[in-house]
Amino acid sequence: MIALFSRAYFLRMLRNPSANFRAIVLLSAILLYGTTGFLYFELPSNPDLSWSDGLWYSLVTMTTIGYGDFFPKTNAGRYLVGVPLMLFGIGLLGYLLSTVAAALVAAKTREIQGMSSFRFEEHLVIINYSGLPKVERVLDELLNDSAFDKDAPVVLIDADLTELPPELIARRVHFVRGNPTRDETLARAGIDKAKHAVILSKDPGNPESDNLNVSITLAIEARSKSVNSVVECVDASAEELLRKAGCDSIVCNSRFDAHFISQELLNPGMQDVIDELTSTARGQQLYFTPVAIQSPVRFGELAKHCRERGHLAMGIQRGKEITLNAAEEAMINNGDRVITMGTSRLKSLSL
């Protein structure tokens, strides 16, 4: 069966060859003509010439390099071999090089316009383009943390963006244009092998964006439950649907609006403190640091160990329960996480 298809393809190629195939065949014929013609006219006067010498002469003549190590000394060799090589060879070679350059430009244009497919692994997929500043801030915060692989590829999916902004091209972000609820679009972004997926609100001021994000989450979780998905939502009432859809984490901006306003009213300057604690770009940050111990230990002992490493222990996370300002006698088990504050992330705490 394979031989039959190969024969049919070969016959089709011979009956209706493409322009590039014709150019390659003609270029090969000219190289063969130049090599054999050079040897035919020059070999009698120079018996040391070989086939590789003739091919080398044809190549350097066609590319206009002309090293001068080999050249025809007979009139027949100059005018019957050298002149045709210069006239026809240079033109064909230029045509092939321009075809290759055009193909490279077309491939780059397809990628910028989101028409390409990617087969990355352990990469980050950002879904929905909600503006250049928002995407850049997300990337900056991730890249400033040691927990994120700085060499991991980033793929942006959006249905309405026509061309990837130059700022994101400079950051080596890849682009897939299409409906993120469709399997074909997610497959082109390599969602099955991705490590993280960040789903931004298409319109941060419109609660209707949450309906789209619920659909996107369902599409992702149906394909791959191993992807760590974080979804942004506008309306807090959409959190229940997003949890049922299977996302790993939800960030709802409306939940914190009242908190920030009241705290800034009662404690002026509090938003600057929160901004520093949650930004990886400057100052001190809050981290969940895993605990690796053989037997339970007191919180006070781990807090002392944290201070020795330049961190301040602020509480304990056990499952979904968080205890801030824990008592020194509180016991910590293996698998718990300590909430610490410091300038950089600690991989783990152990005694």
305: CATH: 3.30.70.1450
Domain termination residue (choose one: 215, 238, 256):
256
* C-beta of residue 155 within 8 angstroms of C-beta of residue 294: no
For residue 7, being part of any structural domain is answered with: no
Residue 128's pLDDT is: 95
CA 278 to CA 274: how far, in whole Å?
6
Same domain (yes/no): 239, 335? no
pTM: 0.70
Same domain (yes/no): 66, 185? no
Same domain (yes/no): 91, 143? no
Instruction: From 290, 293, 296, 302, select the one nearest 326 (Cα to Cα).
Output: 302
**Given pLDDT bands bounded at 50, 70 and 90, which one contains residue 339?**
very high
CA dihedral 205, 208, 212, 218 (to 10 degrees): 110
Residue 11's pLDDT is: 55
108: left (phi > 0), else alpha (psi -120 to 50), else beta?
alpha
Residue type, 27: L
Between 202 and 257, the higher pLDDT residue? 202
* C-beta of residue 346 within 8 angstroms of C-beta of residue 335: no
For residue 350, being part of any structural domain is answered with: no
Domain termination residue (choose one: 207, 238, 256):
256
For residue 338, being part of any structural domain is answered with: yes
Residue 98's pLDDT is: 80
Same domain (yes/no): 238, 319? no
Domain that holds residue 212: 124-256
Q: How many domains does the chain have?
A: 3
Per-residue pLDDT reduced to its tens digit, 161-216: 999 999 999 999 999 999 999 999 999 999 999 999 999 999 888 888 999 999 99
Average pLDDT of span 261-276: 87
Residue type, 349: L
* C-beta of residue 131 within 8 angstroms of C-beta of residue 203: no
For residue 164, being part of any structural domain is answered with: yes
Same domain (yes/no): 249, 178? yes
Residue 257's pLDDT is: 79
The Cβ of residue 274 has, within 10 Å, a number of other Cβ atoms equal to 15
Same domain (yes/no): 144, 246? yes
Check whether 301 has a pLDDT greater than 80. Answer: yes
Residue with tokens 């990337």: 139
Using the 8-state DSSP alphabet, how is residue 78 labeled?
I
Widest Cα–Cα separation across the chain: 102
For residue 182, being part of any structural domain is answered with: yes
Same domain (yes/no): 128, 242? yes
Check whether 6 has a pLDDT greater than 70. Answer: no
Half-sphere exposure of 228 (CA within 13 A, CB side): 6
Q: What is the CATH number of the domain that holds 36?
A: 1.10.287.70
Same domain (yes/no): 251, 136? yes
For residue 118, being part of any structural domain is answered with: no
Domain termination residue (choose one: 86, 110, 134):
110
For residue 119, being part of any structural domain is answered with: no
Per-residue pLDDT reduced to its tens digit, 75-114: 888 888 888 888 887 777 777 778 778 777 777 777 777 8
CA 287 to CA 304: how far, in whole Å?
17
Same domain (yes/no): 136, 219? yes
* Percent of the chain whose pLDDT exceeds 70: 94
Half-sphere exposure of 177 (CA within 13 A, CB side): 13
- Number of helical H runs and strand E runs in the chain: 14, 12
CA 84 to CA 36: how far, in whole Å?
13
* C-beta of residue 216 within 8 angstroms of C-beta of residue 180: yes
Between 14 and 68, the higher pLDDT residue? 68
Q: Per DSSP, what are the bridge partners of residue 321?
A: 318
Residue 133's pLDDT is: 93
For residue 261, being part of any structural domain is answered with: no
Average pLDDT of span 146-173: 91
Residue 211's pLDDT is: 93
Same domain (yes/no): 226, 145? yes
Residues in the chain: 351
**Given pLDDT bands bounded at 50, 70 and 90, which one contains residue 10?**
low
Q: What is the CATH number of the domain that holds 179?
A: 3.40.50.720
Mean pLDDT of the chain: 86
* Percent of the chain whose pLDDT exceeds 90: 35
Same domain (yes/no): 247, 338? no
Same domain (yes/no): 129, 243? yes
* C-beta of residue 159 within 8 angstroms of C-beta of residue 188: no
Residue 5's pLDDT is: 52
